[in-house]
Amino acid sequence: LAKTTQPISMDSYEGQEVNITCSHNNIATNDYITWYQQFPSQGPRFIIQGYKTKVTNEVASLFIPADRKSSTLSLPRVSLSDTAVYYCLVSRGAGSYQLTFGKGTKLSVIP
Amino acid sequence: GAVVSQHPSWVICKSGTSVKIECRSLDFQATTMFWYRQFPKQSLMLMATSNEGSKATYEQGVEKDKFLINHASLTLSTLTVTSAHPEDSSFYICSASFGLEAFFGQGTRLTVV
In DSSP terms, which residues pair with B12 in a beta bridge?
Answer: B111
Is A97 in the B-facing interface, judged by CB distances under 8 Å? Answer: yes
User: According to the model, what pLDDT value does residue B98 have?
Assistant: 81
Q: Where residue A99 falls among pLDDT bands split at 50, 70, 90?
A: confident
| Residue numbers in B near A1 (CB within 8 A) | none
Coil, strand or helix at B68: strand
In tens, the pLDDT along A37-91 reads 999 999 999 999 999 999 999 999 999 999 999 999 999 999 999 999 999 999 8
Q: Hey, which bits of A14-104 come out as E strands?
A: 18-23, 31-38, 45-50, 53-56, 61-64, 70-75, 84-92
Query: Are the Cβ atoms of A97 and B97 closer than 8 angstroms?
Result: yes
In tens, the pLDDT along B73-83 reads 999 999 999 99
Q: Where residue A7 falls among pLDDT bands split at 50, 70, 90?
A: very high
In tens, the pLDDT along B5-33 reads 999 999 999 999 999 999 999 999 988 99
User: According to the model, what pLDDT value does residue A25 have?
Assistant: 93
